Structure 1
Amino acid sequence: MRSIRSLPPAPRSTVPDKREAILRAATNVFARNGYFNSKVADVARVAGVADGTVYLYFKSKEEILRSIFERGVSEVVAEARAELSTLTDPREKLRRIAQLHLERLSADRDLAVVFQVELRGSTKFMAEFSAAGLAEYLRLIRETFAEGQRAGLFRVELNAKVVAKILFGALDEMATNWILSPRNYKLAPLADQVLDIFLNGVTAR
């Protein structure tokens, strides 16, 4: 794990959006030092702002963590909804959701570490914020699966809520294993494997 001292501060004159700079810096700091080992002063230094400036945008370190999570989820949901609007087959829509999920995390390892490791270390966060924050993402999967049920593509007796959690859980596990594995491999291509198993099962035909 790299020390916070190895992360250079952002030049104060080139920070166009201080709130965004703070969130980006916090993502880097939390990923490298761990959430509980990080201080607001560390985040401020890397963001290139004064310590007090952080508190103008966030009441606490916990609020910074929650904001990283909420922003990440809202961005991927917005991107997914935009792309799904161009697709007609619910199966391809689910595939694209899975691809976006793993592509987003593989493109930003620090964000992936925060999502898959650091967020899980806060019992309060998991109890109070995680379920609510993931609701929109799970709703997107659920709606897409239900669309496929209406089209006769998926089994109508299946509970769409359960199905959505199963797909999310599979993708979540792939991302966590990628972060923790000592092997160096690409995460994004695993989306197609997950969807193949999800849509076709494991029984030989």
Structure 2
Amino acid sequence: MAKRTGEKYEAIIDAAIRVIAQYGYHQAQVSKIAREANVADGTIYLYFENKDDVLISLFNEKMGAFISDVEKTLSEVPSPVDQLRELIRLHFEYLEADHQLAIVTQIELRQSNPVVRKEIGLILKRYLKVIDRVIQAGVEQGVFREDFDVITARRMIFGTIDETVTSWIMKDCKYSLMDQVNPILDLFLKGFRR
């Protein structure tokens, strides 16, 4: 298997996003991805074991880069309230900037097989830990209440952000996700603050 770097690898990942967003995961044949990436069908198999591996790698690459950006940004923001705002803002900004990626991550990943879901779950855990750290920092600094469960709060945050993006996609992206940042933050803060 070829090293998972370089122009062809990136071209295949980007092509997979476009093809899966357009046709859906189950109709996105490797040949369509290869054609979109302007590579031979066999080239896909130099980098990926199969179509599931393409999807897992796509999520790992894109979500991994996003999580790294979030971690870096949040490390420069001292206030847990501002960290929570930045987390929501970055999530929405990232997906609003790439509608096709949003379709793949919000709709198509959920229709994949259990092996893909398991691998994606491992990647997603890193993001959930970021959310946990924001909540824990808020509790430790006395900004957020001590009497709620961090896991429940994290599920509420992730679930709200996730559903907001899914609803946005289902409504053909007709409004700005960025306009939702402050109302969602306000909703969280009403439940979290001491």
Q: 1:125 to 1:197 in 2, by over 3 A?
A: farther
Measure the CA separation in 2 of the matches of 1:126 and 1:38: 15
SS at match of 1:36: helix
Give the drift of 1:126.
6.1
Name the CA shift for 1:158/1:126 in 2 (closer, same or farther; >3 Å): farther
Structure 1 pair 22–112 and aligned structure 2 pair: CA distance change class (3 A): same
TM-score normalised by L of structure 2: 0.91
* Range with greater deviation from structure 2 (188-197 or 32-41): 188-197
**In terms of mean alpha carbon deviation, does 168-177 or 66-75 score higher?**
66-75
Matched, 1:187 2:177: yes
Aligned to 2:30: 40
| CA RMSD, Structure 1 to Structure 2 (Å) | 1.4
1:150 lines up with 2:140 in the alignment: yes
More RCO (CA 8 Å, sep 6+) = 2
Distance in 1 of aligned mates of 2:147 and 2:74: 24
Any conservation in 1 of the 2:25–2:112 contact (CA below 8 Å)? no
How far did 1:109 drift? 0.4
Q: What is the Cα deviation at residue 71 of structure 1? A: 1.6
**Contact persistence 1:99–1:188 (CA under 8 A):** yes
Decide whether aligned partners of structure 1 residues 140 and 126 sit closer, same or farther in structure 2, where only a CA change above 3 A counts.
Answer: same
Q: As a proportion of its length, which structure holds more helix?
A: 2
2:101 maps to 1:118:
no
Per-residue displacement from partner, 1:113-136 (whole Å, max 9, x unpaired)? 000111111141564123212101
Unmatched 5+ stretches in structure 2: 1-5
Q: Specify the alignment match of 2:3 in structure 1.
A: none
Q: 1:132 matched to which residue of 2? A: 122
The residue number in structure 2 matching 1:28 is 18
Task: Give the structure 2 partner of residue 9 of structure 1.
Answer: none
The alignment of Structure 1 onto Structure 2 pairs a total of residues equal to 186
2:9 aligned residue: 19
Q: Which letter does structure 1 place at the counterpart of 2:147?
A: E
SS of the residue aligned with 1:189?
A: helix
* Partner Cα distance (2:8, 2:67) in 1: 24
Runs of 4+ in 1 over 6 A off after TM superposition: none
TM-score in terms of structure 1 length: 0.87
